[in-house]
Structure 1
Amino acid sequence: MQRIAVNPGSVEWSGENPGIYLKSDPDKDYSVVAVFFRIVLSPHGRGVGAVILGAPASASAYPDVPNMCLTDNRPMMEYLVANFVSKFPTFAGQKGLDSMSWHDVTDSKQDNRNMPHSFSEELLSDAVRLQMTWKGIKAPMAVEVGPEASATKAHDMYAVFAEATDACITINGTNLPGQVATRQFFGQTMSTAFLALSETWVTPL
């Protein structure tokens, strides 16, 4: 089929969206699911944010359990959670997503000096210091999918993905439990830790 140079659909958002999914037991469900956003274009402007579910099935929030959202642009993150994160298969139906606490980010830092060996994002709020680190980053690959294959089943999605062989999440200096596992990702067996760069979501006509 001939490729179309310009997608006539509506661009919803664009930016970076790396993730880390961890398992304490490789034969059980994820013990931690987390995604980070560094948005350059959205209906609510730019910003950074992260959704961390350290107890995905628990209808509880931080500080009782590490279920939280940190952001410097709450309308943007509310839009992303409602229309995208809640539809991602790893997050869909998780009680922790509806119950998580919200924290205003006062500072954010990105460390990409050691790419491709490691990459990290840090968000600070009054109560939480969050660090997400990806290690052993492999060669990137370009992904272009339509609604039938995208995570929301409603959008075209374009991105550059880079698999990480290891990753960790710390909250106030304490590591969340679990290890990186594997999953099927667009027909390939890949790590559950990944960078997603230049990611753009489009509502097709």
Structure 2
Amino acid sequence: MKSVRTGKVDWTGDNPFIYMKTDPEGDWTSLSVYFRIAASDYGRGEAIIVLENPYELEDNSAVRVCLTDNLELARYLVKDFLSNFALFRKAVSLENMEYIDDATFKTEADSPKQHIESAYSASKDMTVNLIWNGLNEPFAVALPPAETQTGKHEMFCVFQAATSAQVEVNGKAIEGQPIERDFLDRRAMSAALASSESWVQMS
């Protein structure tokens, strides 16, 4: 195993997620992710994305927003990465997601009890909170390209699954809850912190 990777690092940072269902046997009813990027070709930046009813193109009642402080970076992450992630490949709602680029961000951490990532937009008077509760022990992965979502990057990350999670928009929790699923080499809830995540091109 090579100690030094010579491929280009497309981005490195954190990318925790909360995927929820209202019916454990049904389809995903909301997909939410947070990006805190430490380095990329588009600089540093943060973004919170919330997609309700992600697999239906038209739904005027659904929240479909990306709050960010770096619009170019956010669009790049959605186009080149998020749209390739398994649960987002058929998420047609990405096509009409609203980008809001004046967001400010806050982190509240009381590990392992709770972790909260928040974004606020003054122009929309909107606050989004992603909340992870009861964090389990962290574990590290190093995935070869054949096992990553893009198929052309190595991916390195430390995951910490939650026992429960919720997403709040302006103080109101959106419907659904995480479910237990197969995740890498174990069973885990579909909500986890993902820290020190790095995507490295094949060299």
Please tell me the TM-score bracket, short chain as reference: over 0.9
Tell me how far apart the structure 1 counterparts of residues 159 and 8 of structure 2 sit (CA, whole Å): 22
TM-score computed with the length of structure 2 as normaliser? 0.96
Partner amino acid, structure 2, of 1:89: A
- What is the CA–CA distance in structure 2 between the aligned matches of 1:94 and 1:175, rounded to whole Å? 21
TM-score (norm 1): 0.95
- CA separation in 1, counterparts of 2:101 and 2:131? 21
Deviation at 1:187, TM superposition (A): 2.6
Where structure 2 has 5 or more consecutive residues not aligned to the other structure, the ranges are none
Deviation of 1:44 after TM superposition, in Å, equals 0.3
Letter in 2 for 1:123: A
d(CA) in 1 for partners of 2:58, 2:35: 23
RMSD: 1.2
Identity percentage over the alignment?
Answer: 34
Q: Is 1:91 equivalent to 2:98 in the alignment?
A: no
2-side partners of 1:107 and 1:182: how far apart? 32
Give the total of aligned pairs: 201
2:113 maps to amino acid: H
Query: Match for residue 32 of structure 1?
Result: 30
Distance in 1 separating the partners of 2:99 and 2:17: 19
Contact 2:67–2:103 (CA under 8 A) maintained in structure 1: no
SS at match of 2:147: coil
Map 1:171-182; keep pairs closer than 5 Å: 171-182=169-180
Contact 1:161-1:196 within 8 A present in 2 as well: yes
Give the gaps of 5 or more residues in structure 1. none
Contact 1:60 1:100 survives alignment (8 Å): no
Equivalent AA in structure 2 for residue 27 of structure 1: E
Q: 1:124 to 1:33 in 2, by over 3 A?
A: same
